[in-house]
Amino acid sequence: ADYAGADATVQATNDSATVSKASACSLGYFDDPFVGHMAVRGPKGRPIRRAPLINRCYYVRHLGITQLQEAFLSGCISPGEDYNVVVLGAGFDTGALRRTWPAGLKDYYEVEFPAVLQRKQALLKRANAKLPSWLRSCGADLRKPKEVEASLRSQGIDFSLPTLLLAEVVLAYLEPLEGDALAAWAPGCFPNSFFGVYEQLGPLDAFGRFMLRHFRERQCPLRSLVARPDLAANRRRFGAFARVDAVDMMSVLAATPKEELRRAANLEPFDEFEELHLKCAHYLVLAAMHGRCASSPAIWTG
Ligand code: SAM
């Protein structure tokens, strides 16, 4: 995409994620009628197909995000009670459109750089997607939590409602102190909140260093990876929340029904299990919970 200015490289990371999600979706790993319309195409306008290992990784990422969403919905709200969803660094995320949100969803905010949101709106319009009335675009810079808060307030958000905040591969693109500030700001602003994170886990071993080099070669501006080397450091970052659970993606696989894993296993030939497990050990899901959300049941063991 033709983004301009100092944040262009960070904004473009969303294009790569969208291509990978569209690839995994086209093979049947998960359902998403929208992502294919937003993915950059290859030569002759053909959809780009990722390697099986990448598709699997995006499948596991999808499982992790779904587990976070379900944990919020089943553990933080009573049936029919009002709630909000706030997706931070939403990019071309289609969570608002591709899944059913139970009754009570008041507003669903996508917080992003305005340039990314504008492109997303144009692509969805071209795809004739029908946008729900509760979906709101919130152009704001996550490096300035007070700006995010003001932008949400100007759109009439009720901060007191149980709120699912989601950051899927976003915090690593902020400077470490900026990510810390966002994590510290959230529970004060949202007294009943569930902050779900999917993120790289800082590399300490050889595979981790390989991953870092891989991102650097692609000029991927990962900023706070090294600063958050393990689960404990990631939990500490969310220390302003009443409770924090964090596990690597092996625990997400362990929490997935076996029939579902068997279904996915048959979608394309695959034998790189060692690489997949190494990758899974280098990504985490984290749930930081505050107020009423802090008493929701545990999602993962391990
Ligand atoms: N969450 C989406 C997903 O998983 O498909 C997009 C992930 S993409 C790797 C990272 C996104 O974070 C980009 O869309 C980028 O523009 C956004 N982002 C990074 N820094 C940001 C900031 N300071 N303010 C707003 N958005 C930001």
Using a 6 Å cutoff on CB, does residue 38 contact ligand 1? no
Within 13 A of 6's CA, how many CA atoms are on the CB side? Answer: 2
90 in contact with ligand 1, CB cutoff 6 A = yes
Domain containing 76 — which CATH number? 3.40.50.150
To which residue do tokens 């709120």 refer?
163
Q: Per the domain annotation, does 184 fall within a domain? A: yes
Spell out the residues 6+ positions from residue 118 whose beta carbon is closer than 8 angstroms to its own.
none
- Give a yes or no: residue 220 inside a domain: yes
pLDDT at 206: 67
**Could you tell me the pLDDT band of residue 88, with boundaries at 50, 70 and 90?**
very high
94 lines ligand 1 (CB under 6 A): no
pLDDT tens readout for residues 109-128: 999 999 999 999 999 999 99
Domain membership flag for residue 120: yes
Is 194 part of any domain?
yes
Instruction: Answer yes or no: is 40 within a domain.
Output: no
Which structure tokens are listed for 45?
Answer: 């306008």
Distance 262 CA to ligand 1 centre (A): 32
Number of domains in the chain: 1
21 in a structural domain: no
Q: Give the C-alpha distances (Å, rounded to integers) separating 133 from 80, 96, 247, 290.
A: 18, 11, 35, 28
Query: Using CA atoms, how far apart are residues 68 and 212, in angstroms rounded to an integer?
Result: 26
The boundaries of the domain holding residue 61 are 56-294
CA 87 to ligand 1: nearest atom: 1
pLDDT at 4: 86
> Per-residue pLDDT for 203 more than 90?
no
Q: Encode pLDDT of 287-300 as tens digits.
A: 999 999 999 999 99
| Domain assignment of residue 32, yes or no | no
The amino acid occupying position 297 is P
In a domain, 11, yes or no: no
